[in-house]
């Protein structure tokens, strides 16, 4: 394989991969994963590493009793389709579990959960 062939293969790889997305991993969240929050957050927001399909992705918040406490209005951030958010009512002090499933635009699915604590 000479240099021209190598250049062609590299260009081909770049062209083939230029528009694809991979698995969506959680990049960071607000409230942060495993954090303690003073005050009462109005929403839970998760930043992913890839753009998401809103219809197949989900974001839910549960209290310690396992009851879903979010406002069931999950949506993508209109300015960034890699961000999923859901509103929450005034949360009482306690530990909350966020459950997410992220379906990236190339249909790869990832899922996970994390907790945060609301403290007075």
Residues forming contacts to another protein in the complex (CB under 8 A) are 16-17, 20-23, 25-26, 28-29, 32-35, 49, 106-115
Question: CB of residue 87 vs another protein: minimum separation in angstroms?
Answer: 22
Q: Which is nearer to another protein, 13 or 89 (CB)?
A: 13
* 77-to-3, 14, 59 alpha-carbon distances in Å: 45, 29, 13
Q: Which is nearer to another protein, 71 or 113 (CB)?
A: 113
Residue (17 or 90) nearer to another protein, CB: 17
| In the complex, least distance from residue 91 CB atom to another protein, rounded to whole angstroms | 19
Nearest to 111 by CA among 52, 64, 69, 42: 52
Q: Which of 43, 114, 117 is CA-nearest to residue 83?
A: 43
Nearer to another protein, 80 or 109 (CB): 109
Q: Which residues contact 45 (CB under 8 A, 6 or more apart)?
A: 29, 30, 77, 83, 84, 85
In the complex, the smallest distance separating the C-beta of residue 112 from another protein, rounded to whole angstroms, is 4
DSSP readout, 55-75? TT-EEEEE-TTS-B-S-S--E
Question: How far apart are CB 40 and another protein at their closest, in Å?
Answer: 20
């Amino acid at each position: 394989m000479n240099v021209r062939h190598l250049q062609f293969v590299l260009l081909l790889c770049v062209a083939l991969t230029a528009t694809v997305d991979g698995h969506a991993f959680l990049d960071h969240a607000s409230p942060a994963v495993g954090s303690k929050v003073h005050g009462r957050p109005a929403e839970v927001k998760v930043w992913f590493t890839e753009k998401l399909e809103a219809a197949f992705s989900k974001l839910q918040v549960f209290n310690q009793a396992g009851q879903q406490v979010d406002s069931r209005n999950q949506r993508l951030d209109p300015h960034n389709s890699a961000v999923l958010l859901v509103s929450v009512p005034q949360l009482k002090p306690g530990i909350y579990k966020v459950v997410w499933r992220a379906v990236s635009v190339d249909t790869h699915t990832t899922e996970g959960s994390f907790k945060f604590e609301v403290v007075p």
